[in-house]
Structure 1
Amino acid sequence: MHLQTTVLLAGFLFVCYVIGSLIWELLFSAARAVPGPLASRFSRLWYFSKVREGSFHHENIALHERHGQVVRVAPGYFSISTTDKTVYGIGSKFPKGDWYQGWKHPSPERWTLFPDQNSKRHAETRKRFQGLYSMSSLLSYEPYVDECIDIFLDKLSQFARSGTSINLVHWFQCYAFDVIGEITYSERFGFLDNGDDVAGTMAALEKSMTYSTLVGIFPKLHQYIYPVMEKIPGSGAAGRTYLMSFVQRKISERSQAKQDGAYRPQARGSGDGAAPQDFLDKLSEAQQQNPDKVTPYHIFMMGLSNIIAGADTTAISLSSVLYYLMTSPQAWSKLRKEIEEHGLRERRATFKDSQEMPYLQAVLKEGLRMHPATGLPLWRVVPQGGVQIGDHWLPPGSNVGVNSWVAHYDKKVYGEDADIFRPERWQEAKDAGGERLKQMEANFMPFGLGSRTCLGRHISTLEMSKLVPEIVKNFDLTLGMPKEEWKTVNHWFVMPEKLPVTLHCRNAS
């Protein structure tokens, strides 16, 4: 009887909470005029359920088409359709929201660059390490990328000769992971050798991402759930713990090898025989020069960030570009013609070559526009004084964010055919000049915005710019599914479920 009474009381209190929240939102909330789904007015559960389904990027676009520039997705959470400079511009006073807490270890001393809500610490850390990610610095790693491309192309040739159908998404992941391994540790992880998920790294990252994305919607629960979940094999928290252990092991192995005198960097390419310093060596050198500002934790944190942010995003972008090229034969032919006109039929394209090929750059840009790697709003907290966005005033403490998918599919910016892959739109806007190109560039955000733009974006650019021409010039690809079956799962990164292809070598006899 006592249990029954308790259950009834709990149910009654829940109903009272729902009704009270709805009354508050409808009558007293400062942002009560902001439209959105009714369920989003009194609970985060509506938003949680939509994110959990894995297709919120499509839902988000539809919400803005239905309701306009500002849409409520949960109490105090407002999705916006434009890259507002007040929110995201350099010097913005809008810090990252609590959703990002799910992306870090619950311990206050364990932080990483991507989810850091401490704007001052983030700015100092970014300034300290951004030189490692500059394009001029990364170009020294071009031989590392070439080595991975050689292995990848050899695998594709084997598949072409055998007539084997492959999932290109998976093999792009293998390529991107091995490149990150080379750049960070001068050592491939070995994904490209057999296409295996080495030590379960891919699975660990996927589960960790799903956990972080969902728990971030209820961030106060993170500190209680994580210690339990990390002890459960196969859980997202356990996946994150595995990745942290993996990075720490790589750092310890390098340190021990140096102490034993056994560390010998391997030369790459056809230069003077010297091996470029990898990230780990550069970080270690920086620590020796300034141990107060570059600590052992900084070395660990930056190594972890490279793996978490550097592989899947590139694999997603490559998958998108190749999918849209395969389903746009005219674009494929036009790109192949440009590659051959630049004299690249018999030699490897350098990064410098790729920058001198306008249609290749338009193809890459349009692929990133059509399918940006991230698919949830980039939440920021409204500071004291509130903010006016469009017709709505949002009170301080609110979370406001733009989703790159919403920005990239804005027909007022990219035209009525914004949902069609058409690389020519970028050259047309450039030829027209003026405000249109400026607006398109302002809304283009595949790597984030403002001071929080992805630090590793040049790594991805380097990998894509060199690999795409090699695939297009060396192979004919046939998509092994109807165009309409291109499906994705969005748990922060919008990962294609599959991209089955068969290949034919163009130079085959």
Structure 2
Amino acid sequence: MATENGLSLFLNLTNLRHWIVLLPLLAICYSLYIRYATSLRKVPGPFFASFTRLWKLQKTLRGDFEWTNIELHRRYGPIVRIAPNEVSIDDPDESVSIIYGHGTKFIKSPWYQASDAPGQHSIFTDTDIARHARERRLVANSFSMTSLAAMEPFISDCVQILESRLSDQAKEGSVVDMGHWLQCYAFDVIGEITFAKRFGFLDRGEDIGNIMSVLDGFLSYSSWMGVIPELHGPFTKLMSTLFSDGAPLESLRRFASNVVEKRQESNSSHPDFITQFLCTHEQKPDQFPMSEVYKMCMVLTGAGSDTTSIALRAVIYFLLKSPDKLEKLHAELSQREMAGKLSNPVTYAEAISMPYLQAVLKEAMRLHPSTGFTLARVVPAGGVVLLKNFLPEGTIVGINSWVAHRNTSVFGQDVECFRPERWLESEEATKRMDRYFLEFGIGSRTCLGKNISLMEMSKLVPQIFRTFDFDLIDQKKPWHTVNWWLVKQTGLLCRVRSRKPRVFE
């Protein structure tokens, strides 16, 4: 009798109606376990974020995760649970050095997998600490200030071409999309210093080869797919099967490889990155194969243009929104010019000697950092205690630069104000701010292109503001931003007017 009852129960359970009821119950039990029975149960945060990544995915797809992340910390404090196995941190004193400091064993999280081809790695996505360090050493000299000094004349060429384009716009009195032109400038600089040839964006003012659109699509894809990286491989395979160029990175890879091949055929002696990468390849082909040459060019093309143009847009936008700060910059430029300390175009050495200019650049990057997600890392074996919370091995943890740069204990109570003076008031305060300034990353994963970006910005900003006056079309209307890992801006529409002629020695 008992056997018959058991068989009957089994048959009932296998009935579809029963499974429809049972599966949700199992899901609820699993969710409650994830929420309340794991080591992260004491970490505060949104209820749904504690047991499903769908919460983070939905916030990511909105394109404004940086503001969501800021609000979470304002509500819950310095440690917030943003996914079942992930926490966001805001701690300038201890956590930042533990997570990102030199010698750390925290590796990059699986989120970065969606920024590369499945099973592949680059210097940006690599999770192998030893391999990353080895490959970084192979190219580090190419990014030194000594190497970049040889490239400065080519950056100057791009500055002067943009200046010429803006002069044409000033004569016509037309509305200028400065955001677009700044990205054209950043792209052509990367082309010049990487491949010994400008891509031609400044010449035509167009998205040549739709590469800007391709990069936007790639960033959009990798930002949300990074939340569910398990699907990156299958999705890429499906797209490659359905479409010949369906892989998210295929267009960018093809673009970089074509330019590299043309550069090899030219036999140019131009002191560009390709020359240096090829030299490293010839010297150490086993350690630095041609595949690595292509990867480095892809990283430079993809990341180098967007991050710099984002920072340049921020500089112009905040200056035009703050006439008193712009007046101070003009005063510094005029003083240097009257003293005969400004070349045409401005040299990098001259630019870095102007304290207010450098404070303006840093403050713009503080208020609008290029990246808008946490710099996610994985807790190593043995776990870690951060902010009095034990985080077990495998927990994903990170700091978002947008959150860090609004930490009032570091940057003051007026963190939402564009105030370059904060970087000039106290040497001690500046050092503390520098330690929590994450625009270029931190520790061993600091952006290799940091010096390139700073040179591009330092040369362009004083040159265009000494030459032109810019007026926002609508002073009261804010620009539009979207966060696909990089927080890109649109709506920087201006009219350009030439300033009074200058006399150069």
With structure 2 as the length reference, what TM-score do the two structures score? 0.92
- State the 1:233 CA deviation: 6.9
Instruction: Assess if the C-alpha contact under 8 Å between 2:155 and 2:189 holds in 1.
Output: yes
- The one-letter code matched in structure 2 to 1:323 is Y
Does 2:23 align with 1:23? no
Partner residue of 1:82 out of 91, 94, 101: 91
Residue 95, structure 1, aligned to residue 90, structure 2: no
Is this contact kept in 2: 1:326–1:478, CA < 8 A?
Answer: yes
- Give the AA of the match of 1:312: D
Alpha-carbon shift at residue 336 of structure 1 (Å): 1.1
Corresponding position of 2:5: none
CA distance in 2, matches of 1:224, 1:48: 18
Equivalent residue number for residue 497 of structure 1: 490
Whether the 8 Å CA contact 2:151–2:193 is kept in 1: the answer is yes
Confirm or deny that 1:159 pairs with 2:173. no
Q: Which residue, out of 86, 103, 122, partners 2:132?
A: 122
The answer to whether the 8 Å contact 1:475/1:503 transfers is yes
- Aligned-residue sequence identity (percent) comes to 39
- Correspondence for 1:486 among 469, 474, 479: 479
Structure 1 residues 149-228: aligned runs within 5 Å: 149-228=159-238
Could you say which residue in structure 1 is the equivalent of 2:469?
476
Q: CA deviation digits over 1:168-218, x for unaligned, max 9?
A: 111111000000000010001111112111001000011011111111111
Structure 1 residues 251, 33: CA separation in 2 closer, same or farther (over 3 Å shift)?
A: same
**2: distance between equivalents of 1:231 and 1:346?**
55
2:395 matches 1:391:
no
2:117 to 105, 111, 118: 105
Q: Describe the SS at the equivalent of 2:483.
A: strand
Unaligned runs of 5+ in 2: 1-13
Q: Tell me, yes or no, if the aligned pair for 1:203 and 1:239 is still in contact at 8 Å.
A: no
Counterpart check, 1:293 vs 2:305? no
1:394 corresponds to which letter in structure 2? L
One of 328, 331, 342 as aligned partner of 2:336 = 342
Q: Structure 1: state its 5+ residue gaps.
A: 258-262, 266-274
Cα 1:8–1:125, aligned 2, differ >3 Å: closer, same or farther?
farther
Q: Tell me, yes or no, if structure 1 residue 459 matches structure 2 residue 469.
A: no
Does the aligned pair in 2 maintain the 1:44–1:74 contact within 8 Å? Answer: yes
- Per the alignment, residue 352 of structure 1 pairs with 349
| TM-score calculated relative to the size of structure 1 | 0.91
| Root mean square deviation of aligned Cα | 2.0
Once the 2 structures are TM-superposed, how far is the Cα of residue 155 of structure 1 from its aligned partner? 0.7
Q: 1:196 to 1:6 in 2, by over 3 A?
A: farther
* Secondary structure of 2:382's aligned partner: coil
SS at structure 1 position matched to 2:108? coil
Q: How far apart, CA to CA, are the structure 1 residues paired with 2:167 and 2:222?
A: 38
Q: Distance between the aligned counterparts of 2:389 and 2:171, measured in 1?
A: 60
Q: What amino acid is aligned across from residue 98 of structure 1 in structure 2?
A: P
Alpha-carbon distance between aligned partners in 2 of 1:241 and 1:14, rounded to the nearest angstrom: 40
Give the count of matched residue pairs: 483
Check if 1:380 corresponds to 2:362.
Answer: no
Matched residue, 1:53: 62
Q: SS of 2:426's equivalent?
A: helix
SS at match of 2:276: helix
8 Å Cα contact 1:244-1:304 kept in structure 2: yes
Range with bigger deviation, 9-18 or 115-124: 9-18
2:431 to 432, 438, 448: 438
Distance across 1 between alignment mates of 2:276 and 2:21: 61
Number of the residue aligned with 1:268: none
Deviation of 1:470 after TM superposition, in Å, equals 0.9
**Alignment pair present for 1:254 and 2:263:** yes
1:314 is aligned to 308
Alpha-carbon distance, 1:252 to partner: 2.0
Per-residue deviation at 1:254?
2.8
Q: Deviations along 1:262-290, whole A, 9 cap, x unmatched?
A: x253xxxxxxxxx6411111111222222
Whether contact under 8 Å (1:183, 1:279) holds in the other structure is yes
Q: Give the AA of the match of 2:84.
A: P
Pairwise CA distance, 1:355: 1.1
Distance change (3 Å), C-alpha of 1:346 and 1:353: closer
